[in-house]
Amino acid sequence: MMLETVIFYLFASLAVIFALVVILHPDPVKATLSMVITLFSLAVIYLTIKAPLIAALQILLYTGAILVLFLFVIMLLNIQREISLPFSKPVQLWGSIVSVGFLIGIITNFAIKIKIEESVKNYSLVLIAESLFKENALSFIATGFLLLAAVVGATIIATKVKRG
């Protein structure tokens, strides 16, 4: 129990620190690399609450695939360093106000009411599979088609840009 608490605080602080680096660092590549550390720390926290499947999927999908794609695009487009200071544009100010509002809403509504032990108590690969492929099969397939449509749309937009 002691060990888990230490690991939690270590990786929770890592996640928060590097999340701050993500928004404050002027170099987009380094900001993305900090995001990798944040998401990895979150995966470790999932492990401490005995949800290894979510941890594995988090690393596999977010840190392993999506952020590599982010980095690839940033390097390919050669995005320059951002020199504007925080809160110098109105959109940044409004964005942060809305985010803080969401954060407060989430904390007051969910974090207090839902106990983590209860939500992961029934964790098992079979239960998750049954929930995905039996109870919610229709919405699962619908989501798949939605994503497929998004991919097709993105491809069409990309090829049009090429021709023009």
Partner 1 sequence: MNEILEALVKYAAILAFMLGVVAPVMVWVERRGMALIQDRRGPNRVGPFGLLQPLADAFKFIFKEEIIPAQADKVLYLAAPALALVPALTTFTVVPFGPTFNYAGKEIKLVVIDSDIGALMFLALAGLGVYSLICAGYGSYNKYSLLGSLRASAQLISYELSMGFAILAILVSTASFNLLDVIDYQNSMWNIVYQPLGFLVFLVTAFAETNRVPFDLPESESELVAGFNTEYGAMKFALFFMGEYVNMTTLSLLLAVLYLGGWQLYPGWTPPEGIVGAIIGVLITLAKVIFMMWLFVWVRFTLPRFRYDQLMKLGWKVLLPLSITNLVIVTILVNKGIL
Stretch of 56-64, 79-87, 97-105, 144-152 lying at the interface with partner 1 (CB under 8 A):
56-64
Which position among 7, 49, 57, 92 is part of the footprint of partner 1 (CB under 8 A)? 57
Q: Which residues of 68-94 are buried (b: 16+ CB within 10 A; e: fewer)?
A: eebbeeeeeeeeeeeeeeeeeeeeeee
Rounded to an integer, what distance in angstroms lies between the CA atom of residue 27 and that of residue 80? Answer: 8
Q: Is the separation of the CB atoms in 45 and 61 below 8 Å?
A: no
Stretch of 67-75, 88-96, 111-119, 135-143 lying at the interface with partner 1 (CB under 8 A):
67-75
Q: Which of residues 11-50 bind partner 1 (CB under 8 A)?
A: 29-30, 33, 36, 40
Residue span 94-133 as binding mask against partner 1, x where in contact by CB under 8 A, dash where not:
-------------------------------x--------
Which position among 9, 16, 72, 82 is part of the footprint of partner 1 (CB under 8 A)? 72
Q: Does 60 bind partner 1 (CB under 8 A)?
A: yes
Residue 54, judged by CB atoms within 10 A of its CB (0-12, 13-18, 19+), counts as middle
The least distance separating partner 1 from the CB of residue 64, rounded to whole angstroms, comes to 3
Which position among 1, 69, 91, 158 is part of the footprint of partner 1 (CB under 8 A)? 69
Q: Is the separation of the CB atoms in 15 and 52 below 8 Å?
A: no
Here the tokens at position 49 are 């609450």
Cβ proximity to partner 1, 12 vs 57, nearer residue: 57
One DSSP character per residue, 87-140 reads T-SHHHHHHHHHHHHHHHHHIIIIITTS-HHHHHHT--HHHHHHIIIIITHHHH
Instruction: Name the site residues for partner 1 (rule: CB under 8 A).
Output: 29-30, 33, 36, 40, 52-53, 56-57, 59-60, 63-65, 68-69, 71-72, 75-76, 125
